[in-house]
Structure 1
Amino acid sequence: MTGTYTNPVLNADWSDPDVVRVGDDFYLTASSFGRAPGLPLLHSRDLVNWTLVGHALERLEPVGEFRVPRHDCGVWAPALRHHDDRFWIFWGDPDHGVFQVNAPEIRGPWTRPHLLKAGKGLIDACPLWDDETGEAYLVHAWAKSRSGVKNRLTGHRMHPDGTSLLDEGKVIVDGDRIPGWFTLEGPKLYRHDGWFWIFAPAGGVETGWQGAFRSRDFFGPYEEKIVLEQKDTDVNGPHQGGWVRTRSGEDWFLHFQQRGAYGRVVHLQPMSWGTDGWPVLGAEGAPVAVHRRPDLPPQPPAAPATDDDFPGGRFGRQWQWTANPREGWATQHSGDGLRLSCVRSADPHDLRTLPNVLTQRLPGVPSVAEVELTLHGEAPGARAGLAVLGDAFGWIGLERGSDGTVQLVHRFAEAVAERERDADHPRPAPEGRARLRVEIGAGARCRFFYDVGDGLTPSGPVFAATPWRWVGALLCLFALAPVGSGHAGAASFTQFRITSL
């Protein structure tokens, strides 16, 4: 254990992080967009080593709208708070409005989503309970794609029980009136040293900066200052996150960096308060690559789980479906291994449109993902495999032909293509089994491999992983079949492993 840490502390797509301390424990949540379960919950004792302990949102609502993938919809930029002996998460769904859930413990049980404010384009909501006055407030940003409005923050008085707003709201920060500022969003609301503080990013996800705003009155007027930006570092667009204070009084800031197909990785910045009363983040406003660890008890190295043996047919917390799940997609059983039903689909040639795809985040360092696959049943066209999924996708796996034989297939689709095509020639897989492998190199360049009994063999050209609109590329397991009659069969996956290259 060294006395320093290296950024990013979460090297995968934990987008739009927010953090809170309760006692000696730190908790973090992140955007989950259209995947289910949503609102991941991470735990740490030292702000450097994190584990995934659950999710706060079992299914997205309205449930019916998320029966199919809506990759850039759903849960945007949540805020995590602890108040009145409960955990609270507020977020904006750009198509429906501001929601909240709450729970007595971080592992739940969490309430069903409560719609606090209905409307289009309401995003990035954050509450504040003012311990000095007993009043409560809410701030949110706007998505121009739904509302025609952006670059401003709206504030409300909120009922202290978090169930309703007490006014129509008022624009409290207008980014259009600040020279050079655009795409102001992601506000986090705090009280400190007699001021109301809003930490909010601007400038867009790839090249933006972190701003801080302060006012003596919640409704303004607010002063602004840029407190974190790239400067001469390699960290593009360092912004949008949360401030947390340790029990001993140290201040830290967790934020994201947009890294293309890897999504938004999470950095930890030291934070202090300058003589002018403004926060100082990183090294005089520039992100740090290596820094002294927080003054907290040493912890063993930890990271969110990736490997899975699927005991009893259950998959780990690191997996999410691409839409609200349905009964029968995965079958629990007495042994090990994940058994996925080959779900019938009218469009089996485009993984981007299918809800029954099980995903986890692409690792942010060069890695190898491997899994063993067996295809069961007799249904022609049934297929299953290991995929890298984004705006474009590639997969390798098994498919049953019309003559009943099983072949190893490797397919891909570009972002502009509506259906997949072969990346290599199909090959016999006489036992209906294969070991599948994808090597994820620098720049998220992926190389696929297979073993059907005669050793590991490369397949097809290099595939460059691509992100979704707001989401990094995903590693996926799937099983499906064309529309037809009779039982479509199933696929068994065993020993899923991710190792560093």
Structure 2
Amino acid sequence: MKLIFSGVFLLFFLIQFNSFSQSSKATNPIIFADVPDLSMVRVGDTYYMSSTTMHMSPGVPIMKSKDLVNWEIVNYAYDILEDVDELNLENGKSDYGNGSWASCIRFHNETFYVSTFSGTTGKTYIYSTQDIEKGPWKKISFEPSYHDHNFFFDDDGRNYLIWGNGKLMIAELKDDLTGVKAGTEKVLIENASAPAGNNIGLGAEGSQLFKVNGKYYLFDITWPKGGMRTVVIHRADKITGPYEGRVGLQDKGVAQGGLIDTPDGKWFAYLFRDFGAVGRIPYWVPVTWEDGWPVLGVNGKVPEILNLPASKGVIPYIVNSDDFKRKKKETDLPLVWQWNHNPVNELWSVRERKGYLKLTTGRVDSHFLEARNSLTQRTFGPQCSGSTAIDVSNMKDGDIAGLGLLQKKYGLVGVKIENGEKKLVMINAQNDTPEEIESLPIDQETVYLKVECDFEEKKDVADFYYSFDGTNWKKIGNQLRMVYTLPHFMGYRFALFNYATKNAGGYVDFDYFHIKNQLTQNK
């Protein structure tokens, strides 16, 4: 009897120990939110990572970590990219899916550099600072816009750009980084997609170059037709080649990124995966070295569990609740917030009414995607909810304000003033044309709104709720089937908004925005 009991106890202990061991380790995805086009650098025991947020302002988020797992937004490379119609949402123009794309972060001679490029402006940008968390940033821009470029400082003091799609190019930069040296541009690799086969849909791009033990390693993403996104690696003894290539990883479509090492000698590849409506989410893959090549994954696969510390979650480091209460020396907006396109700073405030975000309309627009000063945060998986309370007593006829899910096929719940009467509305644009699914008359000044998103196993659905007391919630409208669309090229975002369809000058006050990592309502 004692032997049976001991055996059962041992089995229970092993199960519990194994469960504890796994829960105390990091799991993929590292961040279940839209953080694409990663670039990373380690300085001592601290990692810094930049990413793409395109038409959002401020732009090119800088994230910091001590363990490669728990990341916090600490800065942005710029407040606005440029003051042009597309980025300002003016004169019928927008910059959805454009703005600034894949950045590259470097550390050289005690200075941080972040480069990016823009199809909107046709320029390449290089930002530099000695204090990456506080700035200030120095800005350099020049033409043309070098697609998916990699910015590289070599050991001999020369600086390079590598860029392109399929055919990869290289050129030497001027010493002051203000452009490419004339006559240095040349083909680096004629067909960088070749290791993945001849039937290629997306040519090799997203180049990131690393120098390890005297050799150069170039990482790219390519996409064979009928296959999946694939990591291709090339290596050479000289930066200018010749390069030999091979497939580095082909599993789950996890691709595009590069190499990072830890202070104790471990190696990882940082990559991302397209995961439906939530966006492009980061995955880390362990790396070993064989015959001078980085070997990605465990038996060629992306592991679920990593030999890194467990994640503490994305709240409050990547997304966070906000009660809009500001002390005198605090910044107006925490770094988790970004505006949809460039904001009009005169039309918003968190100081005017203590404890509230005030959004004032400045012009007439026809729908949610045209609205300026929509304030956004990422949605995240596997499930999340966002809620707010809004004072609608100072809206004008034709105004619409509330809480939305921002993407081309958007959904929102809010208050609309129509012929002097307040209505609670749910609008669904999943069929590309905004449709008012349900409306209810209301007669109070404060309403409570909530949106819940389910990204588990790519369900990609959202439900919308309202409350008159903040406690008792009711569903409104229908379920939004969220779709990641290329015209926006971004995962869905929560958005606080207010826009006018008849007369400018009305305003609303948001009391708070609360975010949770679970669904809170019964379906």
Relative to the length of structure 2, the TM-score reads 0.85
1:339 aligned to which of 358, 377, 397? 358
- The 5 Å alignment of 1:211-360 reads 211-230=232-251, 236-274=252-290, 276-293=291-308, 303-312=317-326, 314-333=332-351, 335-347=354-366, 350-360=367-377
Aligned to 1:195: 215
Contact 1:371–1:497 (8 Å) recurs in 2: no
Offset of residue 414 of structure 1: 3.0
Offset of residue 299 of structure 1: 8.6
Aligned to 1:43: 64
Give the secondary structure class of the aligned counterpart of 1:33: coil
Separation (CA, whole Å) in 2 of partners of 1:173 and 1:6: 35
Contact 1:152–1:174 (8 Å) recurs in 2: yes
Contact 1:369–1:496 (8 Å) recurs in 2: yes
Structure 1 portions without partners, runs of 5+: 142-149, 231-235
Note if 1:75 corresponds to 2:89.
no
The CA RMSD over aligned residues, in Å, is: 2.3
What letter matches 1:241 in structure 2? G
What letter matches 1:490 in structure 2? V
CA 436–340 in structure 1, closer or farther in 2 if over 3 Å, else same: same
Separation (CA, whole Å) in 2 of partners of 1:223 and 1:62: 43
Which deviations, in whole Å up to 9, do the C-alpha atoms of 1:157-205 show, x marking residues without a partner?
1234433322441121222772335421100111122222211111189
Contact 1:429–1:452 (8 Å) recurs in 2: no
Separation (CA, whole Å) in 2 of partners of 1:177 and 1:498: 42
2:168 aligned to which of 153, 173, 178? 153
Separation (CA, whole Å) in 2 of partners of 1:199 and 1:190: 8
Which deviations, in whole Å up to 9, do the C-alpha atoms of 1:284-338 show, x marking residues without a partner?
33211112217xxx99666423211122393321121111111223113262121
Which deviations, in whole Å up to 9, do the C-alpha atoms of 1:197-233 show, x marking residues without a partner?
2111111899211111111222222111111111xxx
Separation (CA, whole Å) in 2 of partners of 1:104 and 1:358: 30
Aligned to 2:385: 368
Offset of residue 402 of structure 1: 2.1
Relative to the length of structure 1, the TM-score reads 0.89
Which deviations, in whole Å up to 9, do the C-alpha atoms of 1:438-463 show, x marking residues without a partner?
12124220111101248311111111
Separation (CA, whole Å) in 1 of partners of 2:101 and 2:356: 33
Separation (CA, whole Å) in 2 of partners of 1:432 and 1:311: 21
Offset of residue 394 of structure 1: 0.9
Give the secondary structure class of the aligned counterpart of 1:80: strand
Give the secondary structure class of the aligned counterpart of 1:106: coil
Give the secondary structure class of the aligned counterpart of 1:247: coil
Separation (CA, whole Å) in 2 of partners of 1:300 and 1:413: 35
Separation (CA, whole Å) in 1 of partners of 2:299 and 2:207: 22
Aligned to 2:34: 13
- Structure number with greater Rg is 2
Note if 1:114 corresponds to 2:129.
no
Separation (CA, whole Å) in 1 of partners of 2:114 and 2:335: 19
Aligned to 1:146: none
Offset of residue 415 of structure 1: 4.6
Paired-residue identity, %: 25
Contact 2:319–2:377 (8 Å) recurs in 1: no
**Aligned residue pairs, count:** 474
Offset of residue 401 of structure 1: 2.8
CA 459–265 in structure 1, closer or farther in 2 if over 3 Å, else same: same
Separation (CA, whole Å) in 2 of partners of 1:62 and 1:280: 45
Which deviations, in whole Å up to 9, do the C-alpha atoms of 1:111-136 show, x marking residues without a partner?
353224x125x3112121112x2222
Separation (CA, whole Å) in 2 of partners of 1:300 and 1:439: 21
Note if 1:491 corresponds to 2:509.
yes
Contact 1:92–1:98 (8 Å) recurs in 2: yes
Aligned to 1:89: 114
